[in-house]
Amino acid sequence: MAKTRYSDNVTFLLSAAHLTHLPPDFGNEVAFIGRSNVGKSSAINIIAGIKRLARVGKTPGVTQLINVFLIDKNKRLIDLPGYGYAKVPGPIQENWHKLVNGYLEQRQSLRGLFLLMDSRHPLGENDLELLNWAIESKLPLCILLTKADKLKRSEANAVLRKVQEEVKQHSDLVTVLLFSAQERTGLNEVFKQLDLWLKI
């Protein structure tokens, strides 16, 4: 895997089952969230330029904890549990819900959120809930339309326009990018967004 500007700095720090297990709430954090199997771990790996930094699961719902990756003592990447996988038992889904909601609502160091949506199935119910919450909370948000390589270019651009239309009234807060970890589509734009949020 090709190195990136973060390759020499990003390391796995910890997995948290409870908010109290997270590192001290200071500095700058950027979180990644999306449906199970949308490609969060692949996105983090390609951004870091480290093949197995974040665990990529063939089975949806692998990420059941909040995974924290350290850039330096004041800058962190956060991999939040995926949502919307029906085969995960109810009690586990409920625990994920509490954990993610608690993080999003309480974490003072959260500077921005990457909301990942499969470009073939964007704007699902859970996606819209998160999108609306971020807008109401005035939290900067970047939507990554993942697996864009699975679509023809014309189809991908049509999806991009559709999602941009959905958020056009909030363009000061929300940006939308086509993204492919496989082909590195959108990676430079993601770096620019990260640099802005993490103040690099």
Mean pLDDT for 59-76 is 80
Homologous superfamily (CATH) of 11-198 is P-loop containing nucleotide triphosphate hydrolases (3.40.50.300)
In single-letter form, the type of residue at position 18 comes to: H
In which band, very low, low, confident or very high, does the pLDDT at 58 lie, cut at 50, 70 and 90? very low
186 pLDDT higher than 90: yes
Which pLDDT score is estimated for 7? 65
Which tokens belong to 66? 């909040």
Q: Identify which has the larger pLDDT, 125 or 88.
A: 125
Nearest alpha-carbon partner for 76 in 110, 38, 51, 115:
110
Instruction: Collect all residues with Cβ–Cβ distance below 8 Å to 172 and sequence separation of at least 6.
Output: none
With cut-offs at 50, 70 and 90, classify the pLDDT of residue 146.
very high
Q: What is the pTM of this model?
A: 0.91
Question: What is the average pLDDT across 138-159?
Answer: 98
Sorted by where each begins, the domain ranges of the chain are 11-198
Q: Please, what is the average pLDDT of the chain?
A: 89
Q: Is the model's pLDDT at 47 over the cut of 80?
A: yes
Q: How far is CA 115 from the centre of its chain?
A: 5
